[in-house]
Amino acid sequence: MPFSPQRISQEWEIDAPASLVWDTLAHTDKLNRAVGLPPVQPGELDGDDIGRPVEAKLYGLLPLSWIEYPFEWIKDRQYSVQRDYTKGPLVRFRGGVDVTPSGSGSLVRISAELTPRNLLGALAIPFLGRDTLRKTWDYCRKVIEQRGAQPQSPTVPVSRAPSKSRTDRALLTQRAARLEQVSSVDSGLAGRLVRHLADGGDEDVVRMQPYALALRWGTDRHETLRAFLYATRAGLLNLVWDLMCPNCRVPKGEAEHLALVTKTFHCDTCGIDYKANLDRYVELRFRVHPGIRAAQDHVYCFGGPYSAPHILVQHLLRSGETLDLSATLRQEAYRIRTLRLNQTSLLVPVSGAAAPGDQGTDRFTFTYGDKGWATGESRFCPGPVQVTWSNRSAKTIGVVLERVRWDELAVTAAEVTALQEFRDLFGSEVLAPGQDIGIESVTILFSDLKESTRFYEEAGDAPAYGRVRRHFDFLKERIARCRGAVVKTIGDAVMAVFFSPADAVRCCLAIQGDIESFNQASSGQPPLTIKLGAHHGPAIAINANGTLDYFGRTVNIASRILRESRGGDVVLAKETVEDPRVREVLKSEKASIVEEWTPTLRGLAEPLTLCRIKRS
pLDDT for 135 beyond 60: yes
pLDDT for 415 beyond 80: yes
Angle at 229 between CA 227 and CA 231, to 5 degrees: 65
pLDDT band at 459 (very low <50, low <70, confident <90, very high): low
Instruction: Determine the Cα–Cα distance for residues 572 and 593; give it in Å rounded to an integer.
Output: 10
pLDDT for 201 beyond 90: no
SS in 3 state form for 168-209?
CHHHHHHHHHHHHCCCCCCHHHHHHHHHHHHHCCHHHCCCEC
pLDDT band at 350 (very low <50, low <70, confident <90, very high): confident
pLDDT of 465-481, one tens digit each?
Answer: 788 889 999 999 999 99
Quote the pLDDT of residue 524: 64
Q: How far is CA 110 from CA 8, 21, 22, 137, 222, in A?
A: 8, 12, 12, 10, 40
pLDDT mean over 418-447: 95
The pairing of strands 530-544 and 484-490 is unpaired
Quote the pLDDT of residue 481: 96
pLDDT of 479-537, one tens digit each?
Answer: 999 999 999 999 899 999 999 999 999 999 999 999 999 998 877 678 899 999 999 99
pLDDT of 389-404, one tens digit each?
Answer: 999 999 999 999 999 9
pLDDT for 591 beyond 80: yes
Nearest one of 360, 300, 329, 242 to 68, comparing CA atoms: 300
pLDDT band at 265 (very low <50, low <70, confident <90, very high): confident
pTM above 0.75, yes or no: yes
Instruction: Determine the Cα–Cα distance for residues 370 and 343; give it in Å rounded to an integer.
Output: 11
Quote the pLDDT of residue 148: 65
Quote the pLDDT of residue 163: 61
Quote the pLDDT of residue 583: 97
Instruction: Determine the Cα–Cα distance for residues 128 and 253; give it in Å rounded to an integer.
Output: 35
pLDDT for 18 beyond 60: yes
pLDDT band at 2 (very low <50, low <70, confident <90, very high): confident
Quote the pLDDT of residue 605: 76
pLDDT band at 600 (very low <50, low <70, confident <90, very high): confident
pLDDT for 356 beyond 80: no
Q: Which of 200-204, 422-426, 510-514, 595-599 has the lowest mean pLDDT?
A: 200-204
pLDDT for 173 beyond 50: yes
pLDDT band at 276 (very low <50, low <70, confident <90, very high): confident
Q: How far is CA 131 from CA 79, 96, 99, 110, 135, in A?
A: 21, 16, 21, 13, 6
More reliable by pLDDT, 47 or 312? 312
